[in-house]
Structure 1
Amino acid sequence: MNPFETRPDRDAEVVLVGRSNVGKSTLMRELTGHKFDTGGKPGVTRTPNHYDWTAEDFVITDLPGFGFMSGVEADRQDQIKTDIVRYLEAHADSILVGILVVDGKSVVDIIDRHTGEDEIPYDVEMFHFLRELDVPTVVAVNKMDKVDDRDERLDELCDRLGLLPPWKQWQDTIAPITAKRGQIDALEESVRTHLHAQKRDDLFRFF
Protein backbone atom coordinates (compact mmCIF):
# COMPACT_ATOMS: atom_id res chain seq x y z
CA MET A 1 0.00 0.00 0.00
CA ASN A 2 1.23 3.48 -0.82
CA PRO A 3 2.18 5.07 2.54
CA PHE A 4 0.60 8.30 1.28
CA GLU A 5 -2.79 6.57 1.34
CA THR A 6 -2.85 5.76 5.06
CA ARG A 7 -4.54 9.02 6.05
CA PRO A 8 -7.17 8.62 8.78
CA ASP A 9 -10.70 9.40 7.63
CA ARG A 10 -10.98 12.94 8.96
CA ASP A 11 -12.67 16.00 7.47
CA ALA A 12 -10.35 18.60 8.98
CA GLU A 13 -6.57 18.63 8.69
CA VAL A 14 -3.53 20.77 9.38
CA VAL A 15 -0.42 19.80 7.38
CA LEU A 16 3.27 20.47 7.94
CA VAL A 17 5.43 20.66 4.82
CA GLY A 18 8.99 21.72 4.21
CA ARG A 19 12.50 20.74 3.29
CA SER A 20 14.23 17.90 5.07
CA ASN A 21 15.90 18.77 8.35
CA VAL A 22 14.10 22.06 9.08
CA GLY A 23 12.53 20.71 12.27
CA LYS A 24 9.06 19.56 11.14
CA SER A 25 9.04 16.47 13.35
CA THR A 26 10.24 18.48 16.35
CA LEU A 27 7.44 20.97 15.73
CA MET A 28 4.97 18.09 15.36
CA ARG A 29 6.08 16.83 18.76
CA GLU A 30 5.54 20.28 20.27
CA LEU A 31 2.05 20.53 18.78
CA THR A 32 0.86 17.05 19.70
CA GLY A 33 2.93 16.11 22.74
CA HIS A 34 3.69 12.89 20.88
CA LYS A 35 7.24 11.80 20.03
CA PHE A 36 8.12 11.21 16.38
CA ASP A 37 11.45 10.06 14.99
CA THR A 38 13.78 13.01 14.52
CA GLY A 39 17.36 12.84 13.40
CA GLY A 40 20.37 14.95 12.57
CA LYS A 41 20.40 13.64 9.03
CA PRO A 42 17.95 14.96 6.44
CA GLY A 43 15.20 12.63 5.39
CA VAL A 44 14.32 10.70 8.56
CA THR A 45 10.61 11.19 7.81
CA ARG A 46 9.91 9.54 4.45
CA THR A 47 6.24 8.74 4.86
CA PRO A 48 3.45 10.93 6.29
CA ASN A 49 3.07 10.95 10.08
CA HIS A 50 -0.59 11.40 11.01
CA TYR A 51 -1.68 12.27 14.51
CA ASP A 52 -5.37 12.19 15.22
CA TRP A 53 -7.61 12.19 18.26
CA THR A 54 -10.12 9.36 18.40
CA ALA A 55 -13.11 11.50 19.31
CA GLU A 56 -12.18 14.37 16.99
CA ASP A 57 -12.79 14.81 13.30
CA PHE A 58 -9.32 16.32 12.95
CA VAL A 59 -5.79 15.20 12.04
CA ILE A 60 -2.37 16.86 12.03
CA THR A 61 -0.08 15.51 9.32
CA ASP A 62 3.70 15.83 9.09
CA LEU A 63 4.59 15.22 5.44
CA PRO A 64 8.06 13.96 4.47
CA GLY A 65 10.72 16.53 3.72
CA PHE A 66 11.34 17.48 0.13
CA GLY A 67 14.71 18.31 -1.40
CA PHE A 68 18.00 16.73 -0.39
CA MET A 69 17.83 13.60 1.74
CA SER A 70 20.87 11.84 3.05
CA GLY A 71 21.41 8.48 1.34
CA VAL A 72 18.27 8.72 -0.81
CA GLU A 73 18.58 8.45 -4.58
CA ALA A 74 17.54 11.46 -6.67
CA ASP A 75 14.64 9.71 -8.39
CA ARG A 76 13.27 8.58 -5.01
CA GLN A 77 13.53 12.19 -3.77
CA ASP A 78 11.59 13.33 -6.85
CA GLN A 79 8.97 10.65 -6.23
CA ILE A 80 8.48 11.81 -2.63
CA LYS A 81 8.03 15.40 -3.85
CA THR A 82 5.46 14.20 -6.42
CA ASP A 83 3.64 12.23 -3.70
CA ILE A 84 3.54 15.33 -1.46
CA VAL A 85 2.07 17.44 -4.27
CA ARG A 86 -0.57 14.78 -5.04
CA TYR A 87 -1.46 14.43 -1.37
CA LEU A 88 -1.97 18.18 -1.01
CA GLU A 89 -4.07 18.32 -4.18
CA ALA A 90 -6.19 15.35 -3.10
CA HIS A 91 -6.92 16.74 0.39
CA ALA A 92 -6.89 20.51 -0.28
CA ASP A 93 -10.59 20.85 0.57
CA SER A 94 -10.01 19.36 4.03
CA ILE A 95 -6.82 21.26 4.87
CA LEU A 96 -7.65 24.18 7.16
CA VAL A 97 -4.05 25.39 7.41
CA GLY A 98 -0.82 24.48 5.65
CA ILE A 99 2.31 25.12 7.72
CA LEU A 100 5.44 25.52 5.60
CA VAL A 101 8.41 25.01 7.92
CA VAL A 102 11.71 26.66 6.96
CA ASP A 103 15.09 27.02 8.66
CA GLY A 104 15.35 30.69 9.63
CA LYS A 105 19.13 30.67 9.52
CA SER A 106 19.60 29.20 6.03
CA VAL A 107 16.33 29.64 4.09
CA VAL A 108 17.19 32.92 2.34
CA ASP A 109 20.60 31.61 1.26
CA ILE A 110 19.06 28.36 -0.02
CA ILE A 111 16.37 30.26 -1.94
CA ASP A 112 18.98 32.55 -3.50
CA ARG A 113 21.22 29.62 -4.40
CA HIS A 114 18.38 27.88 -6.25
CA THR A 115 16.90 30.90 -7.98
CA GLY A 116 17.75 30.76 -11.66
CA GLU A 117 16.27 31.25 -15.08
CA ASP A 118 14.61 27.82 -15.13
CA GLU A 119 14.60 27.15 -11.42
CA ILE A 120 12.15 28.04 -8.67
CA PRO A 121 13.36 27.12 -5.16
CA TYR A 122 11.30 24.39 -3.47
CA ASP A 123 10.29 26.61 -0.56
CA VAL A 124 8.98 29.41 -2.77
CA GLU A 125 7.28 26.92 -5.07
CA MET A 126 5.56 25.15 -2.17
CA PHE A 127 4.41 28.45 -0.63
CA HIS A 128 2.72 29.52 -3.87
CA PHE A 129 1.41 26.02 -4.55
CA LEU A 130 -0.43 25.90 -1.21
CA ARG A 131 -1.91 29.33 -1.84
CA GLU A 132 -2.99 28.31 -5.34
CA LEU A 133 -4.85 25.41 -3.72
CA ASP A 134 -6.61 28.01 -1.53
CA VAL A 135 -5.02 26.49 1.56
CA PRO A 136 -4.41 29.23 4.19
CA THR A 137 -0.64 29.12 4.62
CA VAL A 138 1.65 29.98 7.53
CA VAL A 139 5.43 29.98 7.15
CA ALA A 140 6.92 28.70 10.42
CA VAL A 141 10.41 30.20 10.43
CA ASN A 142 12.17 27.76 12.74
CA LYS A 143 15.53 27.83 14.60
CA MET A 144 15.22 31.58 15.18
CA ASP A 145 17.41 31.22 18.27
CA LYS A 146 20.33 30.91 15.83
CA VAL A 147 19.48 34.10 13.93
CA ASP A 148 21.10 37.40 14.97
CA ASP A 149 19.57 39.89 12.53
CA ARG A 150 16.02 38.68 13.13
CA ASP A 151 13.94 41.45 11.52
CA GLU A 152 16.29 41.81 8.58
CA ARG A 153 16.24 38.08 7.92
CA LEU A 154 12.45 37.88 8.11
CA ASP A 155 12.11 40.89 5.79
CA GLU A 156 14.40 39.16 3.28
CA LEU A 157 12.30 36.01 3.47
CA CYS A 158 9.10 38.00 2.81
CA ASP A 159 10.77 39.60 -0.18
CA ARG A 160 11.73 36.16 -1.62
CA LEU A 161 8.18 34.86 -1.11
CA GLY A 162 6.69 37.84 -2.94
CA LEU A 163 5.31 39.46 0.22
CA LEU A 164 6.07 43.14 0.63
CA PRO A 165 8.31 43.73 3.68
CA PRO A 166 8.27 44.61 6.55
CA TRP A 167 7.43 41.12 7.80
CA LYS A 168 5.47 42.42 10.78
CA GLN A 169 2.50 43.22 8.56
CA TRP A 170 2.29 39.50 7.68
CA GLN A 171 1.95 38.04 11.17
CA ASP A 172 -0.84 35.72 10.09
CA THR A 173 1.58 34.33 7.46
CA ILE A 174 5.11 34.61 8.90
CA ALA A 175 5.65 33.01 12.31
CA PRO A 176 9.16 33.04 13.84
CA ILE A 177 9.61 30.03 16.17
CA THR A 178 12.18 27.84 17.89
CA ALA A 179 10.47 24.45 18.07
CA LYS A 180 13.26 22.72 19.98
CA ARG A 181 12.79 25.15 22.86
CA GLY A 182 9.01 25.04 22.69
CA GLN A 183 8.83 28.65 21.51
CA ILE A 184 5.95 28.32 19.05
CA ASP A 185 3.48 30.97 20.28
CA ALA A 186 3.69 33.02 17.08
CA LEU A 187 2.76 29.96 15.03
CA GLU A 188 -0.12 28.97 17.28
CA GLU A 189 -1.50 32.49 17.06
CA SER A 190 -1.28 32.51 13.24
CA VAL A 191 -2.95 29.10 12.99
CA ARG A 192 -5.75 30.24 15.29
CA THR A 193 -6.33 33.31 13.11
CA HIS A 194 -6.93 31.04 10.12
CA LEU A 195 -9.04 28.55 12.11
CA HIS A 196 -11.19 31.40 13.41
CA ALA A 197 -11.73 32.69 9.87
CA GLN A 198 -13.09 29.23 9.01
CA LYS A 199 -15.29 29.15 12.14
CA ARG A 200 -13.23 26.37 13.72
CA ASP A 201 -12.53 27.88 17.13
CA ASP A 202 -13.33 24.40 18.47
CA LEU A 203 -9.84 23.34 17.36
CA PHE A 204 -8.06 26.09 19.33
CA ARG A 205 -7.28 23.67 22.15
CA PHE A 206 -4.84 21.84 19.87
CA PHE A 207 -2.86 25.03 19.25
Structure 2
Amino acid sequence: MFEQRPNRDSEIVLVGRSNVGKSTLMREITGHSVDTGQKPGVTRKPNHFDWAGPDFMVTDLPGFGFMNGVPEDVREQIKTDVVRYVEANADKILVGILVLDGKAAVDIIDRHSGPDEIPHDVELFHFLRDVDVEPVVAVNKMDKVDDEEERLNDICDRLGLYPPWQQWQETIAPISAKRGTVDALDEAVRHHLHEAGRDDLFQFF
Protein backbone atom coordinates (compact mmCIF):
# COMPACT_ATOMS: atom_id res chain seq x y z
CA MET A 1 0.00 0.00 0.00
CA PHE A 2 2.89 2.35 0.76
CA GLU A 3 4.79 1.43 -2.39
CA GLN A 4 2.71 3.31 -4.95
CA ARG A 5 4.15 6.75 -4.30
CA PRO A 6 3.66 9.21 -7.19
CA ASN A 7 6.95 10.24 -8.74
CA ARG A 8 7.36 13.68 -7.20
CA ASP A 9 10.63 15.26 -6.11
CA SER A 10 9.15 17.51 -3.42
CA GLU A 11 6.63 16.62 -0.77
CA ILE A 12 5.00 17.79 2.43
CA VAL A 13 3.67 15.06 4.73
CA LEU A 14 1.01 15.14 7.43
CA VAL A 15 1.58 12.76 10.33
CA GLY A 16 -0.08 12.21 13.69
CA ARG A 17 -2.41 10.14 15.78
CA SER A 18 -5.78 8.98 14.55
CA ASN A 19 -8.65 11.38 14.95
CA VAL A 20 -6.61 14.59 15.34
CA GLY A 21 -8.04 16.09 12.15
CA LYS A 22 -5.32 15.32 9.59
CA SER A 23 -7.74 14.58 6.77
CA THR A 24 -9.74 17.73 7.52
CA LEU A 25 -6.51 19.72 7.42
CA MET A 26 -5.51 18.00 4.19
CA ARG A 27 -8.80 19.12 2.67
CA GLU A 28 -8.17 22.67 3.91
CA ILE A 29 -4.68 22.75 2.37
CA THR A 30 -5.52 21.16 -0.95
CA GLY A 31 -9.14 22.22 -1.43
CA HIS A 32 -9.62 18.59 -2.33
CA SER A 33 -12.05 16.24 -0.63
CA VAL A 34 -10.35 13.48 1.34
CA ASP A 35 -12.14 10.58 3.00
CA THR A 36 -12.70 11.33 6.65
CA GLY A 37 -14.59 9.09 9.00
CA GLN A 38 -16.22 9.21 12.39
CA LYS A 39 -14.17 6.17 13.32
CA PRO A 40 -10.44 6.64 13.96
CA GLY A 41 -8.11 4.87 11.61
CA VAL A 42 -10.12 5.42 8.42
CA THR A 43 -6.97 6.41 6.53
CA ARG A 44 -4.94 3.19 6.24
CA LYS A 45 -2.77 4.08 3.26
CA PRO A 46 -1.15 7.35 2.21
CA ASN A 47 -3.43 9.89 0.53
CA HIS A 48 -1.32 11.74 -2.05
CA PHE A 49 -2.52 14.98 -3.57
CA ASP A 50 -0.24 15.90 -6.43
CA TRP A 51 -0.69 18.98 -8.55
CA ALA A 52 -0.24 18.58 -12.27
CA GLY A 53 2.03 21.61 -12.59
CA PRO A 54 4.93 21.68 -10.13
CA ASP A 55 6.86 18.61 -9.12
CA PHE A 56 5.21 18.58 -5.70
CA MET A 57 2.59 16.81 -3.58
CA VAL A 58 1.05 16.80 -0.13
CA THR A 59 0.64 13.40 1.53
CA ASP A 60 -1.67 12.53 4.42
CA LEU A 61 -0.08 9.51 6.11
CA PRO A 62 -2.23 7.07 8.13
CA GLY A 63 -2.93 7.90 11.75
CA PHE A 64 -1.35 5.80 14.45
CA GLY A 65 -1.98 5.12 18.13
CA PHE A 66 -5.08 3.63 19.70
CA MET A 67 -7.92 2.87 17.30
CA ASN A 68 -11.15 1.25 18.35
CA GLY A 69 -11.54 -2.20 16.87
CA VAL A 70 -8.07 -2.24 15.31
CA PRO A 71 -5.76 -5.00 16.65
CA GLU A 72 -2.50 -3.88 18.22
CA ASP A 73 -0.31 -5.63 15.64
CA VAL A 74 -2.09 -3.72 12.86
CA ARG A 75 -1.61 -0.44 14.76
CA GLU A 76 2.08 -1.16 15.20
CA GLN A 77 2.41 -2.03 11.51
CA ILE A 78 0.83 1.29 10.49
CA LYS A 79 3.27 3.17 12.71
CA THR A 80 6.21 1.21 11.26
CA ASP A 81 4.99 1.91 7.72
CA VAL A 82 4.71 5.64 8.44
CA VAL A 83 8.23 5.77 9.88
CA ARG A 84 9.66 3.81 6.96
CA TYR A 85 7.88 6.03 4.43
CA VAL A 86 9.32 9.20 5.99
CA GLU A 87 12.76 7.63 6.27
CA ALA A 88 12.76 6.43 2.65
CA ASN A 89 11.63 9.81 1.28
CA ALA A 90 13.27 12.17 3.77
CA ASP A 91 15.44 13.82 1.12
CA LYS A 92 12.28 14.82 -0.79
CA ILE A 93 10.16 15.91 2.19
CA LEU A 94 10.37 19.68 2.65
CA VAL A 95 8.21 19.83 5.78
CA GLY A 96 6.67 17.23 8.09
CA ILE A 97 3.44 18.55 9.61
CA LEU A 98 2.79 16.77 12.91
CA VAL A 99 -0.89 17.27 13.75
CA LEU A 100 -1.87 17.26 17.42
CA ASP A 101 -5.29 17.58 19.03
CA GLY A 102 -4.81 20.76 21.06
CA LYS A 103 -7.48 19.73 23.53
CA ALA A 104 -6.14 16.24 24.28
CA ALA A 105 -2.43 16.26 23.36
CA VAL A 106 -0.94 17.17 26.75
CA ASP A 107 -3.03 14.54 28.59
CA ILE A 108 -2.18 11.86 26.03
CA ILE A 109 1.54 12.69 26.14
CA ASP A 110 1.56 12.66 29.95
CA ARG A 111 -0.37 9.38 30.09
CA HIS A 112 2.24 7.68 27.91
CA SER A 113 5.33 9.19 29.51
CA GLY A 114 7.34 6.86 31.68
CA PRO A 115 10.81 5.43 32.23
CA ASP A 116 10.37 2.91 29.39
CA GLU A 117 7.94 4.79 27.19
CA ILE A 118 8.22 7.78 24.88
CA PRO A 119 4.83 9.10 23.71
CA HIS A 120 4.26 8.62 19.97
CA ASP A 121 3.87 12.34 19.31
CA VAL A 122 7.12 13.28 21.03
CA GLU A 123 8.93 10.39 19.37
CA LEU A 124 7.67 11.42 15.95
CA PHE A 125 8.66 15.06 16.44
CA HIS A 126 12.25 14.08 17.25
CA PHE A 127 12.28 11.44 14.52
CA LEU A 128 11.46 14.10 11.90
CA ARG A 129 14.37 16.20 13.15
CA ASP A 130 16.67 13.18 13.20
CA VAL A 131 16.05 12.46 9.51
CA ASP A 132 16.47 16.20 8.66
CA VAL A 133 12.80 16.85 7.89
CA GLU A 134 11.68 20.25 9.19
CA PRO A 135 8.84 19.60 11.68
CA VAL A 136 5.87 21.95 12.02
CA VAL A 137 3.46 21.06 14.81
CA ALA A 138 -0.10 21.93 13.79
CA VAL A 139 -1.92 22.17 17.11
CA ASN A 140 -5.47 21.56 15.90
CA LYS A 141 -8.90 22.12 17.51
CA MET A 142 -7.65 25.23 19.31
CA ASP A 143 -11.18 26.65 19.11
CA LYS A 144 -12.05 24.13 21.86
CA VAL A 145 -9.19 25.15 24.18
CA ASP A 146 -9.84 27.66 26.98
CA ASP A 147 -6.35 28.80 27.89
CA GLU A 148 -4.54 28.88 24.57
CA GLU A 149 -1.24 30.36 25.80
CA GLU A 150 -0.87 27.88 28.64
CA ARG A 151 -1.75 24.92 26.40
CA LEU A 152 0.76 25.90 23.71
CA ASN A 153 3.48 26.44 26.32
CA ASP A 154 2.72 23.00 27.79
CA ILE A 155 3.00 21.41 24.34
CA CYS A 156 6.36 23.13 23.76
CA ASP A 157 7.53 21.87 27.12
CA ARG A 158 6.53 18.26 26.30
CA LEU A 159 8.33 18.43 22.95
CA GLY A 160 11.52 19.69 24.57
CA LEU A 161 11.14 23.26 23.25
CA TYR A 162 11.70 25.98 25.80
CA PRO A 163 8.49 28.04 26.36
CA PRO A 164 7.09 30.60 25.64
CA TRP A 165 5.69 29.11 22.46
CA GLN A 166 5.83 32.45 20.60
CA GLN A 167 9.54 32.01 20.00
CA TRP A 168 8.81 28.83 18.05
CA GLN A 169 6.36 30.17 15.49
CA GLU A 170 8.18 28.40 12.66
CA THR A 171 7.55 25.14 14.56
CA ILE A 172 4.33 25.54 16.58
CA ALA A 173 1.18 26.54 14.69
CA PRO A 174 -2.16 26.82 16.53
CA ILE A 175 -5.00 26.08 14.09
CA SER A 176 -8.61 25.01 13.77
CA ALA A 177 -8.82 23.03 10.54
CA LYS A 178 -12.58 22.57 10.71
CA ARG A 179 -13.08 26.33 10.89
CA GLY A 180 -10.50 27.00 8.19
CA THR A 181 -8.27 28.90 10.62
CA VAL A 182 -4.86 27.75 9.40
CA ASP A 183 -2.92 31.02 8.87
CA ALA A 184 -0.32 30.16 11.52
CA LEU A 185 0.40 26.88 9.72
CA ASP A 186 0.68 28.58 6.33
CA GLU A 187 3.19 31.06 7.78
CA ALA A 188 5.29 28.31 9.37
CA VAL A 189 5.30 26.16 6.22
CA ARG A 190 6.19 29.16 4.04
CA HIS A 191 9.13 29.91 6.30
CA HIS A 192 10.57 26.45 5.65
CA LEU A 193 9.73 26.52 1.94
CA HIS A 194 11.58 29.83 1.68
CA GLU A 195 14.59 28.38 3.52
CA ALA A 196 14.55 25.49 1.02
CA GLY A 197 14.44 27.95 -1.90
CA ARG A 198 10.91 26.92 -2.86
CA ASP A 199 8.97 30.18 -2.86
CA ASP A 200 7.27 28.82 -6.00
CA LEU A 201 5.17 26.60 -3.71
CA PHE A 202 3.75 29.55 -1.72
CA GLN A 203 0.71 29.41 -4.01
CA PHE A 204 -0.45 26.33 -2.10
CA PHE A 205 -0.09 27.83 1.39
Please, what TM-score do these two structures have when normalized by structure 2?
A: 0.99
Q: Work out the CA distance in 1 between the residues paired with 2:173 and 2:161.
A: 14
Q: Give ranges in structure 2 of 5+ residues lacking alignment.
A: none
Out of 79, 104, 107, the position equivalent to 2:105 is 107
Q: Work out the CA distance in 2 between the residues paired with 1:156 and 1:89.
A: 28
Q: Work out the CA distance in 2 between the residues paired with 1:23 and 1:58.
A: 22
Matching residue's letter, 1:90? A
Matching residue's letter, 2:168? W
Per-residue CA shift, 1:70-120, capped at 9, x if unaligned? 221110110011000100000000000000000000000000000011000
1:124 corresponds to: 122
2:91 corresponds to: 93
Q: CA deviation at 1:54?
A: 1.5
1:3-18 matches, within 5 Å, as 3-18=1-16
Q: Work out the CA distance in 1 between the residues paired with 2:69 and 2:54.
A: 38
Q: Does 1:77 align with 2:52?
A: no
SS at match of 2:53: coil
Out of 128, 132, 141, the position equivalent to 1:134 is 132
Q: CA deviation at 1:141?
A: 0.1
Out of 147, 150, 153, the position equivalent to 2:151 is 153
Matching residue's letter, 1:111? I
Q: CA deviation at 1:133?
A: 0.6
Q: CA deviation at 1:40?
A: 1.9
Structure 1's consecutive aligned runs of 4 or more residues displaced over 2 angstroms after TM superposition are: none
Per-residue CA shift, 1:123-181, capped at 9, x if unaligned? 00000000001101100000000000100000000000000000000000000000000
Out of 38, 57, 60, the position equivalent to 2:58 is 60
Matching residue's letter, 2:113? T
1:193 corresponds to: 191
- Aligned pairs, number: 205
Q: Give ranges in structure 1 of 5+ residues lacking alignment.
A: none
1:204 corresponds to: 202
Q: CA deviation at 1:199?
A: 0.5
Q: CA deviation at 1:55?
A: 2.1
Matching residue's letter, 1:106? A
Q: Does 1:163 align with 2:161?
A: yes
Q: Work out the CA distance in 2 between the residues paired with 1:13 and 1:149.
A: 34
Matching residue's letter, 2:175? I
Please, what TM-score do these two structures have when normalized by structure 1?
A: 0.98
Indicate the RMSD between aligned Cα atoms, in angstroms: 0.5
2:177 corresponds to: 179
2:47 corresponds to: 49
Matching residue's letter, 1:16? L
